[in-house]
Amino acid sequence: MEIIPAIDLIDGRCVRLTQGDYNDKKVYEQDSLDMAKSYADCGVRRLHVVDLDGAKAKAPCNLAVLEKLASHTNLDIEWGGGIKTSESIKDVLNAGANRAICGSVAVDNRDLFKEWLQMYGTDHVILGADIRDGMVATHGWLKNSGVAIEELIEDFLPAGLSQVICTDISKDGMLQGPNFELYVALQNKYNGVNFTLSGGISCMDDVAKAKELGLHSVIIGKAIYEGRITLNNIKEWLQNE
């Protein structure tokens, strides 16, 4: 079970949204680099970073932050938000991200996403599928695509898709526990794909349950910011893994 802490950025600052609502955000004073270093000190290997400005602007907006995180830590950074063109994915990977999370473009331009899977390799390209009412939401969670996650996965499997981050928007930022049923069903149906649970992790018991259910990785955001999960909790968990 891999724990992946999350940092969401607006104007270069750490924020958390509730259910993906840009109007319902909380700004935290922690510096993103300080946070990243503290995670690395705990033994965390991977960091999940979302450029919320980029998601809205349809192009990466916080690449300077990415360069700083990549140059001052050894973390495996997965970066999402605004990756919609071949230039933007190249910019993100060149700025230091090891993995690019692609959401809207995978719905709107499937051929391009398949091209990226083959060009950069499936270790470096992640399908980001954010779910609302059973359908994938795109463009910073502002648009309902009307496309089910299963349709996307089955379209991309022949191109080698191996990594999916799935976020249940209804659970995101609510600290009420994840939709375990969704992730277990997906993992069982597509056992060759590594699904990362995102949205709703509220305490270490949720992490333990995810492991017990056979899931491979979880993203934790607001629970850390709000002190529900401490750095010591993460350190102890990783030492025992």
Report how far apart, in Å, the C-alpha atoms of 21 and of each of 3, 80, 158, 172 are. 25, 17, 34, 10
Alpha carbon distance 67, 75 (integer Å): 12
Residue in 51, 130, 168, 172 annotated catalytic? 130
The DSSP letter of residue 57 is H
The closest of 11, 9, 76 to 40, measured between CA atoms, is 76
Q: Is 130 a catalytic residue?
A: yes
Rounded CA-CA distance 185/166 in Å is: 12
Query: Is 205 marked active-site?
Result: no
Residues 6+ apart with CB under 8 A from 184: 213, 214, 215
User: Taking each helix axis from N to C terminus, what angle separates 86-94 and 63-72, rounded to the nearest 10 degrees?
Assistant: 30
Q: Token pair for residue 30?
A: 């922690």
Report the 10 Å Cβ neighbour count for 241: 10
Q: Is there a contact between 152 and 126 (Cβ–Cβ < 8 Å)? A: no
Task: Point out the residues that are catalytic.
Answer: 8, 130
